[in-house]
Each structure stands twice: as structure tokens, then as C-alpha cells.
């Protein structure tokens, strides 16, 4: 069924023609997408396959938690394990004889566990791993908070969670199981992540969405100051060798580029020009072996199609060597999430 948003994305084709995938043979590991069935908003296996088969050579993906498929009963702490069970069931067999041309969807799974449980979170981690022995790779406990009501809503994460003693007790359980941590926060919180990364140098930490630079609400009139503050924090975080960064997420509303408000969706050249200062700064500070491009679909689908987004990434990376491009588009993600190479 074609939605109003699908029609908007198609208007780009009507206005400027179809964008052919750039460098379509370059292998891609998309290390950040979701699966969910929400009222009026479905993004399940058929939708993700439609995107990942749309022209770029996506060979593997990583699913990241999004409050989908939780258990409806049982202990509250264990209900998020239902999401791992849901993803296992939704993606079983993809990339094998059942759908040999498909990429391996959710070759890695990142789930949620409430790290403020402290030592008791170990039982939740073990349950996730039992639910997906071959694919479960890590935890994301979202921590974005800002004093502005235009950005943070009631009921969201509290301030200072990354510094919280109970949270850190739970975080300390991750290396026991060889699990990584995906960090989703906002740019004013980046130095809290620096503190966490220094305190736990044995935990692999992946920064989602380049640290959430804010360009709306009270930050809309301070965009250059925000950019400079963000750059300084990213440089400090790059000094933590256990941290890698996902290059993506700038299509979200909070980043304030406004692509979702345009009459016609942006093309990849327009997006690349706007995003390049952020992604190139991360690559400069972290290096290609600690950076990975991500789709953040379907969240970033509010701004562009899958083909256009990855074309924008490829435009940004065109000045890098073949080895560096391989790292940015596939190898870093596959290594960090410990994915089994596809046969």
C-alpha cells in the first residue's frame, strides 16, 4: 500500500528523475536499522528488504532496539527479551536458500536491558543471549536528555544517566559477556560518554548518530556554536580507543536540516553537502577504521529514500582510498559487531 510519505519520496523522481546507485558493487554492512509494527507505521522484513534490495549492495545489517515485540507478561526486567525473540522470528532464514538474493538481515542484534538494575541485569543479558545465541551482540540503553521541552519529553531518560552509580554497575556486566554498548545521546551529553568510556576501557562503545547534534528549539539560533562545541566533544571522545562512531542520523527532525519539510525530497548531492562537515570531522578524528556509515531506517526515511541516502554517503567518501571506503561502508561495522562473513 502506497502511503502519503511514499508519494512524497516518489515526487523526487518525478521532479529530477531516478537517482542511480553510485558504485553499486561496493559491499555495505548497514549497522543500524529497526523493525517494528506501529499503528500506521510498519517496517518489517518486506519493507527492509525492499530498501536493502533497491540498488546498493547491502550484504549484512544490524538490528538496533526500538521497543518492538516486548513480552506482554512476566517479570518487567525480562520483557525486552521479547524484542530479540521477535527479531529472530521475523528474520529467520533470510539470506539462505529461502531468499538467496537477500542480504543477511539482522546478522547482529542489539537489544535493550535496563542497566540501572545494577548487577541484576546479568539475568537479562543471559536471557537475550539465550534467545539469540548466534546473533546477539550488545545493548543499547538510550540516554538522550535535554532541559528543553521541545527536545526531551516527560517520561524519557533522566539527566546524568551515564554517570549514575547503578547504571554503571549494570554497565560493568557487559564485558563479562563480551557485549558492546550502543550510546544514543545528544551532543551536550558527549562529555559524559567520554567519562564512561575512560572508566570502562574494556567495553566496546558505539556512538550512534554522530552524537545527536541539536539544531532545533533553543539550539536553532546557535548552530555554529553547537557545531564547534560538538566538534570539541567528538575530538575528546576520539581519544578513547574503545569508541567507534556511526555516521548517520542527521535526517532526524532534531538535527534541524528540514529535509522532511521540503516540497520535494533532497537529492544526494544536497544531502552530502550538508552532512559532510559532520561526517568528515568524525573520520578525521577517529579514522576510517573506527567509523561506519548507517541508515538509521526507517527513522531517517522521513528525509530521503534508501538509495539517495547511501548515494550521499558515497559522495562524501569519494576522496578516500578503496581500503578506507571498504572500512567505512562494511569492514568497521562487521568487525565491531563481530559478524560472520556471508558465504
Q: Domain containing 187 — which CATH number?
A: 3.20.20.140
CA distances from residue 93 to 55, 194, 269 in whole angstroms, order as listed: 22, 39, 36
Chain centroid, CA 219 distance in Å: 23
- Whether residue 341 lies inside any domain: the answer is no
Q: Compute the average pLDDT of residues 103-126.
A: 96
* Each residue's pLDDT tens digit, 157-216: 999 999 999 999 999 999 999 999 999 999 999 999 999 999 999 999 999 999 999 999
Residue 68 — very low, low, confident or very high, per pLDDT cuts 50/70/90?
very high
Residue 102 has pLDDT above 60, yes or no: no
Which residue range forms the structural domain that includes residue 265?
4-336
Please, are residues 143 and 183 in contact by the beta-carbon 8 Å criterion? yes
User: How far is 125 from 139, CA to CA, in rounded Å?
Assistant: 8
Rounded Cα distance between 229 and 281, Å, is 13
Report if residue 135 sits inside a domain: yes
Which pLDDT does position 343 carry in this prediction? Answer: 45
Mean pLDDT computed over 34-63: 96
Instruction: For the chain, give the mean pLDDT.
Output: 94
149: exposed, middle or buried (Cβ count in 10 Å: 0-12, 13-18, 19+): exposed
Tell me phi and psi for residue 58, to 5 degrees: -85, 120
Helix (H) and strand (E) counts for the chain? 11, 10
Could you identify the residue written with the cell 578506507? 324
Name the domain count of the chain.
Answer: 1
Peptide bond into 298 cis (omega under 30): yes
With a cut of 80, say whether residue 94 has pLDDT above it. no
Grid cell locating 120 = 541484576
Q: Is 265 among the domain residues?
A: yes
Spatial CB neighbours of 193, under 8 Å, sequence gap ≥ 6: 162, 183, 185, 205, 207, 211, 237, 243
Confidence of residue 154 (pLDDT cuts 50, 70, 90): confident
pLDDT for residue 342: 56
Helices (H), the chain: 4-16, 45-52, 81-91, 121-131, 165-171, 190-199, 223-238, 268-286, 306-316, 322-326, 332-336
Q: Is 77 within the bounds of a domain?
A: yes
What is the mean pLDDT of the segment spanning 114-137? 98
Q: What torsion, rounded to 10 degrees, do the Cα atoms 197, 198, 200, 201 define?
A: 90
Average pLDDT, integer, range 264-277: 96
pLDDT score for 100: 47
pLDDT reported for residue 5: 86
Q: Map grid coordinates 522532511 to a residue.
A: 260
Distance, in Å, from the CA atom of 242 to the CA atom of 197, rounded to the nearest integer, reads 7
> Is residue 149 a part of any domain in this protein?
yes
- Residue 183 inside a domain? The answer is yes
**Antiparallel, parallel or unpaired: β 243-247 and 291-293:** parallel
161: left (phi over 0), alpha (psi -120 to 50) or beta: alpha
**298 lies in some domain:** yes
Residue 1 has pLDDT above 50, yes or no: no
| Residue 342 in domain | no
Q: Which residues pair with 148 in a beta bridge?
A: none
Residue 52 has pLDDT above 70, yes or no: yes
The answer to whether 54 and 101 have CB atoms below 8 angstroms apart is: no
- What residues form DSSP beta bridges with 142? none
Gap between the Cα atoms of 241 and 205, Å rounded: 9
Amino acid at each position: 500500500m502506497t502511503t502519503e510519505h511514499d508519494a512524497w519520496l516518489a515526487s523526487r523522481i518525478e521532479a529530477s528523475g531516478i537517482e542511480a546507485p553510485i558504485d553499486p558493487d561496493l559491499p555495505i554492512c548497514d549497522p543500524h536499522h529497526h523493525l517494528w509494527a506501529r499503528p500506521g507505521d510498519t517496517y518489517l522484513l518486506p519493507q527492509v528488504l525492499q530498501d536493502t534490495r533497491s540498488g546498493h549492495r547491502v550484504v549484512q545489517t544490524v538490528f538496533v532496539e526500538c521497543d518492538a515485540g516486548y513480552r506482554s507478561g512476566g517479570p518487567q526486567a525480562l520483557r525486552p527479551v521479547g524484542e530479540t525473540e521477535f527479531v529472530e522470528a521475523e528474520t529467520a532464514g533470510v539470506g539462505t536458500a529461502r531468499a538467496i538474493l537477500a542480504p543477511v538481515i539482522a546478522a547482529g542484534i542489539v537489544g535493550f536491558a535496563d542497566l540501572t538494575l545494577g548487577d541484576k541485569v546479568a539475568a537479562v543479558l543471559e536471557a537475550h543471549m539465550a534467545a539469540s545465541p548466534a546473533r546477539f551482540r550488545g545493548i543499547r540503553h538510550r540516554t538522550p536528555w535535554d532541559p528543553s521541552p521541545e527536545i526531551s519529553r516527560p517520561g524519557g531518560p533522566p539527566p546524568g544517566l551515564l554517570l549514575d552509580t547503578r547504571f554503571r554497575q549494570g554497565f560493568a556486566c557487559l564485558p563479562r559477556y563480551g557485549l558492546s554498548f550502543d550510546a544514543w545521546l545528544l551532543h551536550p551529553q558527549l562529555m559524559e560518554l567520554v567519562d564512561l568510556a575512560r572508566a570502562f576501557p574494556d567495553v566496546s562503545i558505539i556512538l550512534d548518530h554522530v552524537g545527536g547534534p541539536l539544531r532545533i528549539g533553543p539550539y536553532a539560533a546557535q548552530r555554529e556554536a553547537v557545531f564547534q562545541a560538538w566538534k570539541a566533544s567528538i575530538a575528546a571522545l576520539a581519544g578513547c580507543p574503545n569508541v567507534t562512531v556511526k555516521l548517520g542520523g542527521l535526517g532526524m527532525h532534531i538535527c534541524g536540516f528540514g529535509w522532511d519539510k521540503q516540497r520535494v525530497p533532497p537529492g544526494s548531492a544536497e544531502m552530502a553537502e550538508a552532512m559532510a562537515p559532520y561526517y568528515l570531522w568524525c573520520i578525521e578524528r577517529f579514522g576510517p577504521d573506527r567509523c561506519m556509515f548507517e541508515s538509521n531506517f526507517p527513522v531517517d526515511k522521513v528525509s530521503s529514500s534508501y538509495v539517495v541516502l547511501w548515494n550521499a554517503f558515497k559522495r562524501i567518501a569519494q576522496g578516500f582510498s578503496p581500503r578506507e571506503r571498504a572500512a567505512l561502508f562494511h569492514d568497521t561495522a562487521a568487525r565491531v559487531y563481530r559478524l560472520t562473513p556471508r558465504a
